[in-house]
Structure 1
Amino acid sequence: MLKKIFLFLIVEMVSLPLLLSGGAGAFPNFLFAGFDSLNMSFVGNWPFGASNYLEIDSSRNLLFAGSGGGVYIVDVSVPSNPTIISEKIHARDYIGKLFYQSSTQRLYIANDQGGLEIWDISNPSSPAKLGEYFTSGYSAHLYVSGSYAYVTTLYPHGLCIIDVSDPANPQQTGFFSTSNSPYGVYVVGNYAYICIYEGFYIVDVSDPANPQQAGFLSLSGYYLFDIKVVGDYAFVNTIGSISSSGLLIINISQPSSPSLVSFCSIFEAHGVDIKGTYAYVVSGQLYNWATLHIVDISEPTNPQIVVSYEIPTGTLFAHGMDVCVSTTYAYVSCDWLGVHIIDITTPTNPQEIGAFDGNTPQCGQNVFISDSYAYLADGEGGLRIIDISDLSNPEEIGFYNPPCYVYDVYVSDSFAYTCACALGLRIVNISDPSNPQEIGAYDPLGDARSVCVSDGLAYVALGSLGLHILNVADPSNPQVIGSCGSPGYAVDVFIVDSIAYLACEGGGLRIIDITDPTQPQEVGSCATTYAVDVYVSGSYAYVADGSGGLRIIDVSVPSNPYIVGTYSVSGSQVNDVYVVDSFAIIAVDWKGVYIINVSTPANPQRVGYYSPPYITLGISASKPYIYATDRLTGLQIYKSDLLVGIDEFILKSVNQKPRLEIYPNPFSEKTEIRYIIQKGRLTVNGKRSTVSLKIYDATGRLIKDFSRFTNYDGRTTSIVWDGTDDSGCKLPVGVYFCRLEYGKRVITEKIVYLR
């Protein structure tokens, strides 16, 4: 949650005429419950990322380890050998906090835009989602007491009290507004204790429908984050500057007048737990090792650090994110270095005895879809192989981890060509996806950022070294056969026939003739702001240009490319682009996935979007699905109503009711209207009926008649409409209705016409 606290939701209400006018700012940023937006919907995800929040079921030796937007269930009965027994908990957003209720064996998840989720863990190997509640703001932390979940939210700031007595149908019963951003919450008896920026609330929740402030303590300069309550004291960790980061101890014996007892300085204190007379505080930030601080709190007015134990993560830095303490062990989450298990039998002499850190997911960069698998380039998390045969429930089945950052992957035949940063190109045999094995490598001491494979040759974007061309006919022994330097930093490559298109940070789009791969020659270039990705379709190159937005470049004459259109996104970076038919799908930083209608290249318009869990980095698509990588939550899968392919249309129509589909929709130049009527459905009272297909405007006036007699059952009928009426005149932009009639049946679909 710390990584997302500065994000907020702006809801724009615009009229239909403004919406239909197009342009970068015309489409409203609606965030509906469940994230769905116009023309796009959530399908499934593999949301795992860096380790974050923890909970423990001591009686069953189970650890619940938050990982990005997922939760691993780990058997820790043998602490030296923790074993993941389930990765089936896939939350909708980044996990802000976990709470495990042992009496019901339920796990509660606060997951940002995803609100509150409730999971049944009675069978740890097969957890089941019981219910969810979408809070009005971003859910931050939570605590469960009795039949109520207490969830702190941002925008609006406050405490949301939710009745979870029926987990399948949780309902909000009350809300308490706070003066600033709330995070940690802890409930004892009739009081909820809430941490906010520069303050501490005590709230009377004896009537959950009407929570009332009982007390408040102003703490200027302190960013209160997490909390535990024991007896008359609240133990609160604070984050921020060196002088204000650490452990606060607050006397709460008088709820109306809480008072600060003491402060123990610990830089970047992120999590706290209490056992006996010790507080366990985890800290760590960039360029520091995660550290477990064990603090003697036997005298609350004078807490003393008895030991600061650096988590043994080798030479690598990691954030200390959370700590959870059982009888003899402290479990510490260390961001992308996983969870470490520390023996605290002797608090003054902690010792690590186990960890699961060798395959912790980290940062979804790019994804390649092949058959029923998604190959995820996961940064420091290596290459993840995800089975997507069930799109609603993807599962990881294989993992390859080179000792370097993985930026990109391209799959050809039985090999995954993996760009591993300073380690160059690594070639991995994936004939058995559950057991990928590196078989070859090319390490030119460059920064391997992107790869494309065609006709036995691998084209690698190598940062400052430009483009290298490798013969990979023998994948175990790749050989460089040609290279072409380029200005700027080569970060992406796309191949079409005998041309390589190279996106270069600081160098724009470079066009390279590869007719003779041993002697590639640059033949053209086009300056852009900060080119990071390129996709070529037809006569156009679509460049993800960072802060420059989406650039559409005419490359029909390779020696003279020029920009014909730009789609700008104010305040955000365009990180990736993928083109399907007349749509460019772009990854727009923290704004998510945008679908841009590029049927008129000079006037690209947004026609769909989906709000992301955090930051969208990579895009791939296979109609009608979009696969998006997220910096914190792995792989997200969406479906777009705009990307319906003809094969899917026919498949869905077989043995089903008649279907009417319009694609693309919205449209600007032309759209295809398709329908299938199965055998026997054209017969009424023994007579064959005609088919009527007509288009009406929003007032009900007939403006186009496509009526015709259909001579064959079960086959697709396709009609193209160019936005004109029966007299051939262009119609104004707006909403129209397509009406299909046959026999006594009628199907109507809405069409949105843009220009």
Structure 2
Amino acid sequence: MAPLETRIQKRLHVSLYALLFLTALLGLSVVLEGCSDQCETTAEYVYFEPVYMSLEDFRASVEVTGPKAIESMGRIYFKDDYLFISEPGKGIHVIDNHDPRTPNQVKFISIPGNNDLAINGNILFADSFIDLLSFDISDLNNVQLVGRKENAFSVYNNTGLQADPDKGILTSWERKEQHIEIAACDVALQPWGGFYYEDGIAVPHYAAKDFNSMAAIAPGTGSGPGLGGSLARMTLNAGHLYCLDSYLLKTVAIENPANLVAIDSLQLGWDIETIFPYEDKLFVGSRSGMYIIDVSRPTKPDLISTYAHVVSCDPVVVSDGYAYVTLRSNNFNSDVSAFWCTGGVNNQLEVIDISRPERPTLLATYEMTNPHGLGIDDNMLFVCDGDAGLKVYDVTNKLKLDENMLAHHPFVTALDVIPYNNVLMMISEEGLYQYDYSNKKKLKLLSQIPVTQ
């Protein structure tokens, strides 16, 4: 007979194996039960069918007209006392802003699929779905389309769909009276919140009522360039145009506006969304971090470093060795792109030390409500905090911004700003607002152009 100690060890081994086996069975049953529960759980979706325009009709649709009412705000750009505001998917409003107290709408440049713009000298560059356009605006009474680079952009909408050579350009979504009830385990849910279904997309039932078909097809001085907002996806630096396209930073030679030439593509990340120029660098905001790019050789941008953060929407501005970044979590609205802004991050403002661009360092974090764009002039930082309005901070002490708020205007849904020469130009869901900020602690409203619902 084996010694008592040996028999006890064998029994312990058998008991241990039995325990492990039972644990494995229990774990498997939980997994299977979870899968079963998931497959038995259904969700309701609403079907939206794509509406296409032929490539021929699309490229013949550009026209310049008199001023039109602004129905929604996209990007903002300032050049030579004129404001240029894009209306997502429709075109660009031109506003004479020589006197910010009495801005005057003068023209509307109808551009199908437009979202972004940049201006160099007398040439305005604008996207139009998959194409990049150039306009001569030296005479605003006679704006001329002078160049079109076809197929400059690959993906031109939040759902990741591309132009179909047979069907043409996807210009909108048409809601169909077709409700889809489907098991959760049968859904290949996309980052924008819905999924591809038949020839179109399915949107969660709770979001369908406010679904914005135009938002869903959007990509969510003198002789030099003008000033763009912090939400821009294209910008100018060192005589070149830089555009974000899906996961690429594209460099475009613009010496001849009639013949735009793509000369370089730098691969970044799938989630890049904003671009901001500063000195010989570009700062690209993405949903997962900030890229710092050297453009001292303008034709060959070079990635210096990446500052990572949790997944969120991420505009950025830069001044005097510091980057200011707003992080926004998923607060769903009528823009399907809001689904991309998801993750465990709080809504916040980050101050990042970029004195060593190869190693950006987080300096401070401040709680916000739902921050969007931002702008900086000297030591005044303007933050568009969504429904919480416009907030203004003195950033002299980077570690005490929360103790140095200069002003707060809570009665607007602020989206983006351009501060220049003591005039703050701000776009919001309610319209264009302009403020005199020569008195740092008391902004004075100069004018407003409301959005027409």
The alignment's TM-score, normalised by the length of structure 2, stands at 0.58
**Residue 388 of structure 2, aligned match among 581, 586, 591:** 591
Give 1:432's aligned residue.
Answer: 139
User: What does the per-residue CA deviation read over 1:673-692, in whole Å, with 9 as the maximum and x for residues that have no partner?
Assistant: xxxxxxxxxxxxxxxxxxxx
Query: Which whole-Å CA distance do the structure 1 matches of 2:419 and 2:127 have between them?
Result: 20
Please name the residue that 1:461 is paired with.
244
- Residue 416 of structure 2, aligned match among 609, 618, 639: 618
Asked if the contact 1:373/1:385 (under 8 Å) is kept, the reply is yes
Q: Paired residue for 1:603, among 380, 384, 400?
A: 400
CA distance, structure 2, for counterparts of residue 465 and residue 517 of structure 1: 19
- The alignment status of 1:627 with 2:425, answered yes or no, reads yes
Number of the residue aligned with 1:53: none
Residues 628 and 612 of structure 1: CA distance in aligned 2, closer, same or farther (over 3 Å): farther
Structure 2 unpaired stretches of 5+: 1-45, 54-64, 157-218, 220-231, 330-346, 443-453
Decide whether the 8 Å contact of 1:534 with 1:542 is kept in 2: yes
Residue 100 of structure 2 corresponds to residue 391 of structure 1 = yes
**Distance in 1, Cα, partners of 2:366 & 2:391:** 11
* In structure 2, distance between residues paired with 1:393 and 1:500: 34
Of 436-445 and 534-543, deviating more is 436-445
CA contact under 8 A between 1:458 and 1:472: conserved in structure 2? yes
Match of 1:423 among 107, 127, 130: 130
Counterparts of 2:395 and 2:401, CA distance in 1: 5
CA deviation vs aligned residue, 1:534-567 (integer Å, no higher than 9, x gap):
2111101112222432221111111100111222
Match of 1:472 among 240, 250, 254: 254
Q: Distance in 1 between matches of 2:87 and 2:80?
A: 20
**Matched length:** 290
Secondary structure, aligned partner of 2:399: coil
Q: Does 1:563 align with 2:362?
A: yes
- What TM-score, normalized to structure 1? 0.36
**Which residue does 2:74 correspond to in 1?**
365
What residue identity is the alignment partner of 1:434?
N
Residue of 523, 540, 553 corresponding to 2:304: 523
State the distance in 1 between where 2:292 and 2:88 align. 28
Q: Is the contact made by 2:382 and 2:390 (CA closer than 8 Å) also made in structure 1? A: yes
- Partner Cα distance (1:567, 1:441) in 2: 43
The alpha carbon displacement at 1:640 in A equals: 2.2
Counterpart of 1:389, as a letter, is H
Structure with larger RCO (C-alpha < 8 A, sep 6+): 2
Match of residue 148 from structure 2: 441
User: Could you tell me which residue of structure 1 aligns to residue 9 of structure 2?
Assistant: none
**How much does 1:414 deviate?**
0.6
CA distance in 2, matches of 1:364, 1:510: 27
CA distance in 1, matches of 2:145, 2:248: 24
Q: How does 1:743-754 map to 2 (within 5 A)?
A: none
CA–CA distance in structure 2, aligned partners of residues 405 and 551 of structure 1: 30
> What is the SS of the residue equivalent to 2:398?
coil
Q: Structure 1's 575 and 419: CA in aligned 2 closer, same or farther, altered over 3 A?
A: farther
**Cα offset, 1:445, TM superposition:** 1.5
1:311-350 to structure 2, matched below 5 A, reads none
Q: 1:549 maps to which residue? A: 348
Q: 1:610 to 1:475 in 2, by over 3 A?
A: same
CA distance in 1, matches of 2:365, 2:125: 32
Q: CA deviation at 1:375?
A: 0.8
Alignment partner, residue 51 of structure 1: none
Please, which moves more after superposition, 490-499 or 586-595? 490-499
Which residue is 1:482 aligned to? 264
Name the residue aligned to 2:378. 581
2:174 corresponds to: none
CA distance in 1, matches of 2:52, 2:431: 25
Could you tell me how far 1:602 is from its partner in structure 2? 2.2
**For 1:402-446, what per-residue CA distance to the aligned partner results, in whole angstroms no more than 9, with x for missing partners?**
11142x3222211222244x3353322211223433322342323
- Which amino acid in structure 1 is aligned with residue 325 of structure 2? V
Q: What does the per-residue CA deviation read over 1:286-309, in whole Å, with 9 as the maximum and x for residues that have no partner?
A: 969xxxxxxxxxxxxxxxxxxxxx
Deviations along 1:9-68, one digit per CA (max 9) or x if unpaired, are: xxxxxxxxxxxxxxxxxxxxxxxxxxxxxxxxxxxxxxxxxxxxxxxxxxxxxxxxxxxx
Higher helix share: 2
- Structure 1 residue 531, shift from structure 2 partner: 4.2
- Corresponding position of 1:671: none
Shift of 1:469: 0.9
Contact 1:532 1:546 (8 Å CA) reproduced = yes
Q: Could you give the per-residue CA deviations for residues 607-653 of structure 1, whole angstroms, max 9, x where no partner exists?
A: 2122344x32221111321111123x33111222445xxxxxxxxxx
Which amino acid in the other structure matches residue 290 of structure 2? L
Percent identity between the two aligned chains: 20
Tell me the residue number matched to 2:211.
none
Change (3 A) 1:575 1:437: farther
> Alpha-carbon deviation of 1:509?
0.4
SS at match of 1:608: strand
Pairwise CA RMSD? 2.9
> Structure 1 residues 568, 428: CA separation in 2 closer, same or farther (over 3 Å shift)?
farther
Name the counterpart of 1:500. Answer: 282
SS of alignment partner, residue 604 of structure 1: helix
Deviation string 1:567-620 (CA, Å, 9 cap, x unpaired) is: 2213x2x1111111111111111222111221111222322122344x322211
